[in-house]
Amino acid sequence: MVGAELLAPEPAAVLAVSGDLFPRGVSQYLVGGVLIGLGTAVIYFGTGITAGASTFLESTLSYVSSVERFNQGTYVRSRDWRVVFTLGIVAGAAAYTLAVGNTAWTTDVQWWRLFGGGVLVGVGTRVGKGCTSGHGVCGVGSLSDASLVNVATFLALAVGTAQLVQALGVSP
Amino acid sequence: MTSRPNADNAEGSPLVLLVVLLGGLVFGVGLAVSEMAKPEVVLDFLQFDDFGLLFVMGGAAVVSGLAFLVGTRLLDRAPLTGRAYGRRLKDLDQNVVVGGVVFGVGWGISGICPGAAYASLGIGNVPILWGVAGMFLGAYGQGYWRSRD
């Protein structure tokens, strides 16, 4: 009993602190992150490919556009597996949602934020040679200097932009 | 490698597509479990209300980093493509910084990035199609512009 009383305050205090930084807890974040890494590893060990998600945006355009940039050899050669990778991501997220019995979840973020932000994401990831998966996961995992610089840059700008948008009273 | 007769087709072989599908499925489950498929959760991170995204990116980078370490140190070539195991290295130039700035502003406005947006569709988030349409438009615009000369 005495031991339990002595021990009790400590975990509670830890919870209070972590509750501020992580109001939803941390386990789903850690498990999800490890799974994202495992998906990357499966593709890597089987094929030697370090898969990123944003090249799909350009390589898929090569099916319907004659613009030179989209029809470079590396895009045309990789466009099929990039479509399959994207369909796998969609299907995996859908399978998990169905498996745990969740119904469809819909965002409240306004359409113009999704669309306008999406345009900049499309430009920025392609000019910058990668996104949160290509640079953020594969590149950081490779300790690539280009990826570390890119991630530091987009994180800083994203934090500043999101906080500015919030300060302007846009919600959500 | 370049002299291998089937090097050009290796990336599109049925077995490669099957492995990529399997990896994509696990990747998508991870994005759904981690809630990165929800723009609100990403925006909460960027607004310093919930730092969970650090565990997502950190966990994913550590696991993939270990895979790359095993591949480059202990293994030779990937069985399905004959491709040598390597790391993901890109040239650090002005584009890496400029692109990072533009992407960062877009991510901060929307709370979406490409992989998470695909997964968001999977959890039933139909409005994310606004974001996916925007990303394709942006990718098309920069490709068109860069192909002009």
Q: Which residues pair with B77 in a beta bridge?
A: B84
CB contacts < 8 A (A, B): 556
Q: What is the ipTM of this complex?
A: 0.94
pLDDT digits (tens, 9 = 90+) for A57-94: 999 999 999 999 999 999 999 999 999 999 999 999 99
Give the pLDDT of residue A16: 54
**CA angle in degrees (0–180, nearest 5) for B7-B8-B10:** 65
pLDDT digits (tens, 9 = 90+) for B68-77: 999 999 999 9
List chain A residues with CB under 8 Å of B35.
24, 28-29, 32
Give the pLDDT of residue B4: 45
- Give the three-state DSSP class for A168: coil
Question: B107–A154: do the CB atoms touch at under 8 Å?
Answer: yes
Question: A107–B39: do the CB atoms touch at under 8 Å?
Answer: yes
A83: contact with B, CB 8 A cutoff:
no
A26: contact with B, CB 8 A cutoff:
yes
Cβ-contact B81, A137 below 8 angstroms: no
> b/e map of B36-72 (b: 16 or more CB within 10 Å)?
bbbbebbbbbbbebbbbbebbbbbbbbbbbebbeebe
Domain ranges of chain B: 7-146
